[in-house]
Amino acid sequence: MKKIYNIAVIRGDGIGPEIIDEAIKVLDSVCAKEDFELRYEDYLMGGVAYDFKGTPLPDETIEGCLKSDAVLFGAIGGEKWDTLPREFRPESGLLKLRKSLGLFANLRPTAVFDELLDASTLKPEVLKGVDLFVVRELTGGIYFGEPRGNDGFKGFNTMVYTKPEIERIARVAFESAMKRRREVCSVDKANVLEVSQLWRDTVNEIAKEYPEVKLSHMYVDNAAMQLVRAPKQFDVIVTGNLFGDILSDEAAMLTGSIGMLPSASLDENAKGMYEPC
């Protein structure tokens, strides 16, 4: 009997609907070849959701995503909504959805194809053969830490990680490395941040469970430099939410465009939200 999977589709804003239309064509071709069926149902999130519903993430979108087998997501945001109060901005909807679905592990592969060596601003000899994998923790860190605030004079956010949060993302990174070249580089700022020292200590502990994997550590500022200086040194990079947000977008430019980086955001059962290139 043919397997059927229910897919929640979030087209979002800007180029999102165009990306999703093309992704669905690809998925339907795979369905025909592999003999399974995907059933799509559209939900609103982002600026378009605010325009129609008055919120960047309606409750029915969360409910629809929870009952689906996977989520296909395009893009959100745009200048039109940048002046809204923060809780109504499109990005707030995305953060809330990640938290609501428990999508703690963001996986972003970066591979440079020979045919696109000239797409990047870096020299071809630096890029040829680049194949790295960024594992970003997605539901903790400074984006979710409390207290936070802005009174017009003082703005503050709190970077918080618990040991269990670090343990589970570290295991994702090591498991990923076991399927690749068996190297993990953990990126932090342990020389100045206590939360990063906990991160480093915890990753070292988890590394003992994977003796086949070589572990290294790198401060985030050096990692940002090394990504454009010598990107082929990296196999799997594991890092926190803020650092991962920045580094994965930097890694995208190795391919020539952020549009070339697909990603998966997974929960503890490997159910997830997928963003096509």
Q: How far is CA 92 from the centre of its chain?
A: 15
Catalytic pick among 245, 267, 271, 274: 245
Catalytic pick among 43, 143, 161, 210: 143
Q: What's the CA gap between 64 and 48, in Å, rounded?
A: 17
Annotation marks residue 189 as catalytic: yes
> What is 16-50 written as a DSSP string?
HHHHHHHHHHHHHHHHHHHTEEEEEEEE--SHHHH
Crossing angle for the helix pair 90-101 and 59-67, to the nearest 10 degrees: 40
Report the relative pairing of strands 131-137 and 105-111 from DSSP bridges: antiparallel
Half-sphere exposure for 108 (CA within 13 Å, toward CB): 26
CB 2 within 8 A of CB 36: yes
Q: What's the CA gap between 101 and 104, in Å, rounded?
A: 9
Catalytic pick among 161, 189, 210, 235: 189
Report the relative pairing of strands 183-188 and 214-219 from DSSP bridges: parallel
Structure-token match 């996977």, residue found: 70
Annotation marks residue 67 as catalytic: no
CB 145 within 8 A of CB 195: no
Residues with active-site annotation: 143, 189, 221, 245, 249
